[in-house]
């Protein structure tokens, strides 16, 4: 690979995800960092002429940002994680990418992302049956933000605890602002729509930062039917550093995006639409020999 | 799907796999059986004008049979399982398929097959590290056949027992022919190349058929590095009816083959070269909504 032209990767947004993307690119032989940019630096970004832009911006900013970049013919990868909006965003970015001969990889994280691929394979192997996705234990970004917005909360951390069959417990650790009572804060959290539907425990602590840990995990199971044969079982567990895995998957997906662009196969793709071998560095023949 | 034209599937070879393919097709809404044929009936097979032929013939007959069918422009799916020969067969069938505008899906079983896809994803998520594939407990076809060929063996069954880190124990159950001694049979098995490299136990039984059971399983693990972050772990276990899963995967792969043929994307593909969503019945948009 050293003799081939390296893919020039721009990183837009430099929080946990942007830093993890930078680390993952640094471990490849086929990519190089073209530049790292903050949200508002799209002019500087365009000036460095990257082959592809990896988005480390918050999920709610992904659709607008990706659409703007795709409109200038730049390829993009994101880890957009608002599951319910994926079909709409997929259609939007697909239209824009096709119009401008670009490739967008949408929702390239671990869930949505690689878990989606595992769920797809489970469905293909056992077309009738039940799949359960049990997250955690690990910090939920969405629930943590929701808890931080409750009046009287100085800092918060919401842990997701798996109880099986897709049911989760929320353990919310809070620092209370001076002048507010624990009881009022707890009641406000329990009534918030993010927490009202799950078993939720609110625990007051002196220092939320001391609990900081980006470890996460997931457990996927399916018991289903292959052909007419029941009781086929598959069970998958991951225990991971959350941003490191997300950054790695975005970088692998950038490789797949470049290969689709080379084949002039433009549009927006989720990970279940990608050939897995295209995620890997180097020649397909070597991987067929090693992995098949 | 009911209003669309159904894919006409021919089954060539009607042993365990052929029967499992028939069952899996019967559970779909987008395929129908065009005909079921024995090895030597390729003329009758051609006369029924199938869209695709699913091969239930022994692995060693797959390359020749697939090449002959592809040469007449027929698409094929097989579950060829001689790992070391896959790269050569892939190249051979790819050339033939491209020349005749056909699609071949090679080694579409569970290993090689869906396990290959899991290994590819594990590699993409954690590019440095070690993957172990531990098979069983379950009956090994290759080792069973090898044991049956030993002089003095009336019937045999070789079970694969996983010891972890890719190391396996072989439990060989044998019925001894009249006039032969257990000691001689045991020594011949232990010296056979199939068994000489693993811990092997040979056990005399009165009736091998009474042990018959097509249950099998596999345990795949990887502990690796995402970006620069070590100790990322993934662990996958399947416990399955072996021919039922193989037949199901061949049928799902036939669907992917038809979609590639529609796109005039001819050639030979292993499962790591297929977009997982193409394995599933029905529209891509619905699956993105449900699985991503």
Q: Does B126 touch chain A (CB under 8 A)?
A: yes
Three-class SS state of A91: helix
Final residue before a domain boundary, out of A216, A232, A266: A216
Pair (A255, A170) in one structural domain:
no
Over 90: is that where the pLDDT of A145 sits? no
pLDDT given for residue B142 in this prediction: 83
Q: Which CATH number covers residue A158?
A: 3.30.360.10
pLDDT tier at A141, thresholds 50, 70, 90: confident
Compute the distance between CA of residue B68 and CA of residue B65 in angstroms, rounded to an integer.
Answer: 5
Q: Which residues pair with A260 in a beta bridge?
A: none
Over 60: is that where the pLDDT of B66 sits? yes
Pair (A12, A72) in one structural domain:
yes
Residue B274 lies in a domain: yes
Q: Does B29 touch chain A (CB under 8 A)?
A: no
Contact assignment for A227 to B24 by CB distance below 8 Å: yes
Q: What is the phi/psi pair of residue B26, to 5°?
A: -65, -20
Encode pLDDT of A105-134 as tens digits. Answer: 999 999 999 999 999 999 999 999 999 999
Over 70: is that where the pLDDT of B22 sits? yes
Pair (A103, A247) in one structural domain:
yes
pLDDT given for residue B145 in this prediction: 87
Q: What is the phi/psi pair of residue A139, to 5°?
A: -75, 125
Compute the distance between CA of residue B14 and CA of residue A107 in angstroms, rounded to an integer.
Answer: 43
ipTM over 0.85: yes
Encode pLDDT of A237-247 as tens digits. Answer: 999 999 999 99
pLDDT given for residue B1 in this prediction: 44
pLDDT given for residue B43 in this prediction: 84
Pair (A11, A108) in one structural domain:
yes
Over 70: is that where the pLDDT of B67 sits? yes
Over 50: is that where the pLDDT of B94 sits? yes
The answer to whether residues B256 and A259 touch, using CB atoms and an 8 Å cutoff, is no
Over 80: is that where the pLDDT of B2 sits? no
Pair (A69, A143) in one structural domain:
no
Contact assignment for A227 to B27 by CB distance below 8 Å: yes
Three-class SS state of B1: coil
Three-class SS state of B196: coil
pLDDT tier at A167, thresholds 50, 70, 90: very high
Pair (A283, A202) in one structural domain:
no
When divided into structural domains, chain B yields a total of 2
Element (H, E) at A252: helix A242-262
pLDDT tier at A1, thresholds 50, 70, 90: very low
Q: Which residues pair with A239 in a beta bridge?
A: A217, B233
Structure tokens at A149: 């917005």
Domain encompassing residue B197: 132-216
Contact assignment for A245 to B232 by CB distance below 8 Å: yes
pLDDT tier at B3, thresholds 50, 70, 90: low
pTM, 2 dp: 0.96
Tell me which residue of B67, B80, B90, B158 sits closest to B112, measured CA to CA: B80
Residue B62 lies in a domain: yes
Any residues with CB less than 8 A from the CB of A159 and at least 6 apart, and which?
A136, A137, A138, A139, A140, A170, A171, A172, A173
Q: Which CATH number covers residue A85?
A: 3.40.50.720
Which of B90, B229, B231 shows the shortest C-beta gap to A288?
A: B90
């Amino acid at each position: 690979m050293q003799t081939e032209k390296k893919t020039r990767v721009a990183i837009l947004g430099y929080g946990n995800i942007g830093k993890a993307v930078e680390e993952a690119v640094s471990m490849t032989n086929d990519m190089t960092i073209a530049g790292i940019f903050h949200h508002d630096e799209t002019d500087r970004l365009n000036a460095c002429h990257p082959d592809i832009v990896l988005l480390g911006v918050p999920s709610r900013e992904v659709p607008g940002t990706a659409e703007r970049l795709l409109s200038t013919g730049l390829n993009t990868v994101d880890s957009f994680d608002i599951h319910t909006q994926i079909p709409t965003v997929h259609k939007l970015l697909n239209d824009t990418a096709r119009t401008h001969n670009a490739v967008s990889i949408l929702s390239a994280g671990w869930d949505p992302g690689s878990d989606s691929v595992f769920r797809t394979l489970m469905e293909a192997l056992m077309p009738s049956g039940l799949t359960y996705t049990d997250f955690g234990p690990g910090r939920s970004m969405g629930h943590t933000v929701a808890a931080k917005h409750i009046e009287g909360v100085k800092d918060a951390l919401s842990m997701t605890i798996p109880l099986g069959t897709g049911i989760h417990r929320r353990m919310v650790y809070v620092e209370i602002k001076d002048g507010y009572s624990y009881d009022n804060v707890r009641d406000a959290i329990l009534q918030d729509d993010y927490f009202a539907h799950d078993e939720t425990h609110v625990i007051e602590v002196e220092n939320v930062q001391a609990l900081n840990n980006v470890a996460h995990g997931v457990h996927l199971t399916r018991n289903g039917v292959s052909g007419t044969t029941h009781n086929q079982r598959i069970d998958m567990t991951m225990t991971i550093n959350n941003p490191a895995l997300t950054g790695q998957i975005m970088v692998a997906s950038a490789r797949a995006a470049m290969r689709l662009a080379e084949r002039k196969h433009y549009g927006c793709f989720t990970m279940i639409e990608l050939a897995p071998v295209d995620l890997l560095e180097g020649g397909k023949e070597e991987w067929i020999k090693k992995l098949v």
